[in-house]
Amino acid sequence: MKTKLIFFVLMLVTVSSYAQQDAQYTQYMYNPININPAYAGSREALSIFGLHRTQWVGLDGAPVTNAASIHTPIENTNIGIGLSFVNDKIGPSDQNNISVDFSYTVPTSETFQLSFGLKATADLLNIDYTKLNIYNPSDPRFQNNVDNKFSPNIGAGIYFHSDQTYIGLSVPNFLETKHYDDNSTSVAQERLHYYFMAGHVFDLSYDVKFKPSLLTKVVQGAPLQVDLSANFLFFDKLTLGAAYRWSAAVSGMAGFQVSDAIFVGYAYDAESTKLANYNSGSHEIFLRFELFRNYDRMITPRFF
């Protein structure tokens, strides 16, 4: 029997100061543009990416995330542009983010480049209280749904990278927007999210490459999140790896380069907390399609 996520209800409608969390991804290393606008255009291709994540399968109201993005460098310039979309459903809430990303890249050596990025976001929040099991239906807080509550935001990031190494810092949303106010009680309020990511590709042999990576997220009102991952690339085709989310989950990942243009991937998360007793894990799939890639500049297959 599916378990009702009472704690989601408490987070959304009863706490006095709730920090709206950004969507979570296990395979963040394949599409960092959602958290760092400086990534736009860095793959030297028109890159189209789509992802579906179903979290905590078996729990009613558990998060379901759909994300899509497209970004490209502008030919004969140092500019990259991108457009991304994220739909995140949690319990009675349905949130849509549409972002425009801009990057400017400065070569710092023969192998490394430093990119600066800006992000402009439009956020639309919906909360349908009819999806809740409400103890007191006459409670005035639950009488009026939230319908397409619009909130703008801006963000920025830096991305230092070569064909084998990357380091990034970003804050995708600078404005601590109150999406919804009820009698001076803020619900679904944005908080600053600080991201740090890093990774490096090691050539273990001609046919095997290894890339450890790291993502950390700091946000007021939530525990520090640390994601550690390790991926192996075999024969420039098959990727296998594992990840650990600090005090939260362990994951297995697999990917396959179907053609020069198409890469597909899958990840499974198993909870390492008591929540594992109430769900059967999380699933994440993605597809990346690329055009006009400049192979002459590639030293090693790009994991990022």
For every residue of the chain, which 3-state class applies, written as one string? CCEECHHHHHHHHCCCEEEECCCCCCCHHHCHHHCCHHHCCCCCCEEEEEEEEECCCCEECCCEEEEEEEEEECCCCCEEEEEEEEEEEECCEEEEEEEEEEEEEEECCCCCEEEEEEEEEEEEEEECHHHCCCCCCCCHHHCCCEEEEEEEEEEEEEEEECCCEEEEEEECCCCCCEEEEECCEEEEEECCEEEEEEEECEECCCCEEEEEEEEEEEECCCCCEEEEEEEEEECCCEEEEEEEECCCEEEEEEEEECCCCEEEEEEEEEECCHHHHHCCCEEEEEEEEEECCCHHHCCCCCCC
How many whole angstroms separate alpha carbon 57 and alpha carbon 77?
45
Residue pair 166/197 in contact (Cβ under 8 Å)? The answer is yes
Taken in order 22, 28, 32, 159, is the CA torsion positive or negative?
positive
Tokens representing 83 are 């457009």
Report in angstroms the alpha-carbon separations of 187 from 107, 125, 176, 192: 44, 11, 12, 15
DSSP bridge pairs for 65: 53, 88
Mean pLDDT for the chain? Answer: 85
Residue 135, in any domain of the structure: yes
Residue pair 287/304 in contact (Cβ under 8 Å)? The answer is no
Residue pair 218/193 in contact (Cβ under 8 Å)? The answer is yes
Q: Tell me what the mean pLDDT of segment 190-202 comes to.
A: 91
Confidence band, pLDDT 50/70/90 cuts, at residue 134: low
Q: What is the pLDDT of residues 237-271, one digit of tens each?
A: 999 999 999 988 999 999 999 998 999 999 999 99
Domain that holds residue 66: 34-303
Confidence band, pLDDT 50/70/90 cuts, at residue 191: confident
Single-letter amino acid code for the residue at 252: G
Residue 252, in any domain of the structure: yes
Residue 266, in any domain of the structure: yes
CATH of the domain at 247: 2.40.160.40
How many whole angstroms separate alpha carbon 229 and alpha carbon 241?
7
Strands 185-190 and 17-20: parallel
Residue 8, in any domain of the structure: no
Residue 11, in any domain of the structure: no
Other CB atoms within 10 Å distance of the CB of residue 54: 15
Q: Which of 136-145, 208-217, 236-245 has the lowest mean pLDDT?
A: 136-145
Q: In 3D, which of 212, 207, 285 has the Cα closest to residue 253?
A: 285
Q: How many structural domains compose the chain?
A: 1
Tokens representing 240 are 């296998």
In the block, residue with structure tokens 């059967």: 280
Residue 25, in any domain of the structure: no
Tokens representing 85 are 């979309």
Residue 2, in any domain of the structure: no
Report in angstroms the alpha-carbon separations of 290 from 15, 72, 79, 85, 262: 44, 10, 18, 18, 7
Single-letter amino acid code for the residue at 196: F
Q: What is the pLDDT of residues 268-280, one digit of tens each?
A: 999 998 888 889 9
Confidence band, pLDDT 50/70/90 cuts, at residue 178: low
Residue 123, in any domain of the structure: yes
How many whole angstroms separate alpha carbon 135 and alpha carbon 138?
9
Predicted confidence at residue 51, as pLDDT, reads 97
Predicted confidence at residue 73, as pLDDT, reads 95
How many whole angstroms separate alpha carbon 220 and alpha carbon 214?
20
